[in-house]
Amino acid sequence: MSQLPILVIEDDPDGQFVIARMLKQVQLEVTLAASAEEGWERLLESSYAGVIIDLALPGKDGFQLLAQIRSHPTLRRLKCVAVTAYHTPMLKHNALEVGFDAYFAKPINRTLFLGAIEELIFQNQY
């Protein structure tokens, strides 16, 4: 697998570490952002193959950031994966309904997560 760039928007340092480590194991080039605002700046500065977004971010939450991404002409097709520590079946339904491409509750199941990333990110590069 090639070194595709992926953005992880996660406010918790431990969460950043765990997600980044998993993604680096499959040769993804990881950039981190600790807030939706910082993530948005990074999205406008560089090109990414996908973005992992924590739903419970300080200030603007993951749903608001997704709406901003989906309304942007060059970013609207970007693969977006939701992650959250506050999982409920309704939250998962809502996240997928509004346009997240995948959803994962923390602690993240490594096998399922990386399988989804491979399907969403790598399969769409060729």
Nearest to 78 by CA among 42, 25, 33: 42
What is the amino acid identity at position 33? A
Q: Helices (DSSP H) in 2-125: which residue ranges?
A: 13-25, 36-45, 62-71, 89-97, 110-117
Q: Could you tell me the two tokens for 31?
A: 């950039």
User: Are residues 80 and 68 in contact, defined by beta-carbon separation less than 8 angstroms?
Assistant: no
- Show the domains of the chain with their CATH numbers: 5-125 (3.40.50.2300)
- Predicted pLDDT of residue 1: 44
- Predicted pLDDT of residue 126: 47
Q: Find the distance separating the first CA and the last CA of the chain, reported in whole Å.
A: 12
Distance CA 104, CA 71 (A): 23
pTM comes to 0.94
- Predicted pLDDT of residue 89: 96
pLDDT (tens, 9 = 90+) of the chain, 126 residues, equals 458 999 999 999 999 999 999 999 998 999 999 999 999 999 999 999 999 999 999 999 999 999 999 999 999 999 999 999 999 999 999 999 999 999 999 999 999 999 999 999 877 654
